[in-house]
Amino acid sequence: MRPALPLLLLCAGAALSGETWLTFFSAYQDGLEAQARGDQARAARAFGKAVALAPVPGRRVKTYGLNFLDGYHPYLRLAEVFLAQGDLAKAEAALARSQTYGIEPAPEREALLARLRARRQAVAGPVPAPRATVPVPAKAAPPVPAKATPAPATVEEPTPAPPRAAAPEQGALPAAAGPGKAKAAPASPHPVQVVPAAAAKVAPQPPPAAGPGPRPARPYRGWALGMGAALLLGSLGALWRRRRRPQLGPWGAPLDPRQQTRYGPYGINGILGVGGCATAYRGQHLGTGAAVAVKVPHPHLVRDPEFRARFQREADLGARLEHPRIVPILASGVEEEEPWLAMPFIEGLTLDLRLGRGGPLPLAEALAIATGIAEAIAYAHTRSVVHRDLKPANLILTPKGVMVMDFGIARVLDASQTTSTLFLGTPAYAAPECVTTPQVGPPADRYALGIILFEMLTGHPPFTGQSPFQILEAHCSQPLPPCPQAPPAVLQLLQRLCAKAPEARPEDGEVLAILERLRANDTSSRS
């Protein structure tokens, strides 16, 4: 709402101090409507405003939208109004102005002149002889013969009122702006009766203004056009600067022009994969030749301070964890404002790919992998690190066993860093407390371990849905589905790991002990 406040204040100030000054066509229409109602005084005021704004009549004048006036004849309308009011002097002045511009229809003007003469004669009585006439400038109107004969007695006009001094707001004619005023007034064939004093009083003729056409020239036209052009050019320039055509790299992925060929001591050989937050490159240490994976955030994320901080935390956390079941962070740094981190390149297959290819795992293999995961998270928990995003895609199956990677959204159990309300996990493996609590602890990792173990045995996670809403809701409310592949003891462990209440889940040590026992039992039973 803040941007609107100054505007509202500005408008309020203008409303209090300003006077409504209608556009000429609005005023003209007001006059027409008032005239139609018989409100001559209001009509005179409105037509007066119209000629003040647009003094030059027009045959077709654009108003607003696609609307136009098919005949903007303010002086004829003024003459009609003054005649109706009985103000013959003003009517005569209006007709004189109409003739000056020569745009308004001559027959109508002539008819009004005839009515004017008839009214004068009705007031003054018969005029015995042609009287002196004053030449009124005319431009294009055809000559009209003077009608010196008195008007017939049946003129349909109201009883003339005595001439009165017209107030300016009552339709006093404003300055004429047409070219006719700038020229010497030619002799007019129109014999308008002289009413010198009154005409001079109601229709003073100020110095002429320049500019033909229905719109009078304004001094600000030049700078308005210039400012508008400058703004348009500025907008186009800004648009041009913001244009970006993505260059394509391997697999059609956009190749950021800032992409480095080396990060710190590591050279880049190719792309391993593109994730939601970062691109993983395959590289090698330029000194030792050791194969590494270099992780670089997407350029559009690097601009986000929150993400940069999170990425840096990932590097810091990884550097603190040294365990055979955890993919370590070798080094991290910033290369030309691009943060990066390097991990050893691990040959292997992620668990989700393994499940996708081969389906459910044998019980022994599933228990072995679960044990490896449990060892990794137990170690991390002793370092006050919670993974918070354990899922098959973060688990690499190597000949030496499973390794846990991507502590990218893991958080140190520090209050200052666990206040985010954002849900940062993956819904399929999210513990129920993730839905209701911004801070989750080690039990959330153990819950994810249970879900992963279930998936390894059945080939699919226990809770699925078409939307994150559904999945999260299922985690909170639905019991663990049946798992016929799991022996009773394994099923009991699954039930405990996937308990809705975090405190009901077993501790890391107990989990490891149960898994070791289950593996031993499974081995002995098979042998």
Q: Does 239 bind another protein (CB under 8 A)?
A: yes
- Per the DSSP assignment, residues forming a β-bridge with 332 are 341
Q: How far is the CB of 519 from another protein (least distance, A)?
A: 26
Q: Does 182 bind another protein (CB under 8 A)?
A: no
SS3 content of the chain, % helix, strand, coil (to 5): 45, 15, 40
d(CA 246, CA 252): 10
Task: Give the binding range for another protein (CB under 8 A) out of 96-104, 341-349, 371-379, 503-511.
Answer: 341-349
Residue with tokens 């007034």: 185
* Contacts to another protein from residues 248-267, by CB under 8 A: 248, 251-254
Q: How far is the CB of 467 from another protein (least distance, A)?
A: 4
159, 422, 503, 524: which one binds another protein (CB under 8 A):
422
d(CA 467, CA 452): 20
* Contacts to another protein from residues 293-312, by CB under 8 A: 293, 295, 298-301, 304, 306-307
Q: Does 485 bind another protein (CB under 8 A)?
A: no
| Closer by beta carbon to another protein, 172 or else 511 | 172
Burial class, 152, CB count within 10 angstroms (exposed 0-12 / middle 13-18 / buried 19+): exposed
Site string for another protein, 426-445 (x = CB under 8 A): x-------xxx-x-------
Q: How far is the CB of 500 from another protein (least distance, A)?
A: 15
- Per the DSSP assignment, residues forming a β-bridge with 292 are 283, 344
| Closer by beta carbon to another protein, 149 or else 247 | 247
Instruction: Return the ∠ at Cα 184 (arms to 81 and 170), rounded to 5°.
Output: 20
Residue with tokens 């101090």: 17
Q: Which two tokens stand for residue 224?
A: 């308005």
* Contacts to another protein from residues 366-385, by CB under 8 A: none
Which stretches does DSSP call E strand in 137-227? Answer: 192-193
Q: Which two tokens stand for residue 254?
A: 């956009």
Site string for another protein, 267-296 (x = CB under 8 A): ----xxxxxxxx-x------------x-x-
Q: Does 214 bind another protein (CB under 8 A)?
A: yes
Q: Which two tokens stand for residue 410?
A: 């893991």
Q: How far is the CB of 494 from another protein (least distance, A)?
A: 16
Q: Does 353 bind another protein (CB under 8 A)?
A: yes
- Using CA atoms, how far residue 446 sits from 255, 389, 408, 449, 506, in Å, is 39, 11, 18, 5, 8
d(CA 231, CA 219): 20
**φ, ψ for residue 164 (rounded to 5)?**
-135, 160
| # residues near another protein by CB under 8 A | 108
- Using CA of residue 381, residue 385, residue 386, residue 390, what is the dihedral sign? negative
d(CA 297, CA 307): 9
Q: Which two tokens stand for residue 487?
A: 């022996």
132, 220, 257, 336: which one binds another protein (CB under 8 A):
220
* Contacts to another protein from residues 22-61, by CB under 8 A: 22-23, 25-26, 29-30, 33, 59-61
Q: Does 20 bind another protein (CB under 8 A)?
A: yes
Of the candidates 39, 256, 304, 389, the residue annotated as catalytic is 389
149, 382, 470, 492: which one binds another protein (CB under 8 A):
470
Q: Does 159 bind another protein (CB under 8 A)?
A: no
Q: Does 421 bind another protein (CB under 8 A)?
A: yes
522 tagged catalytic: no
Task: Give the binding range for another protein (CB under 8 A) out of 12-20, 97-105, 123-131, 196-204.
Answer: 12-20
164, 201, 460, 519: which one binds another protein (CB under 8 A):
460
Q: What does the longest C-alpha to C-alpha distance in the chain come to?
A: 145
| Closer by beta carbon to another protein, 144 or else 403 | 403
Burial class, 419, CB count within 10 angstroms (exposed 0-12 / middle 13-18 / buried 19+): exposed
Q: Which residues are catalytic?
A: 389
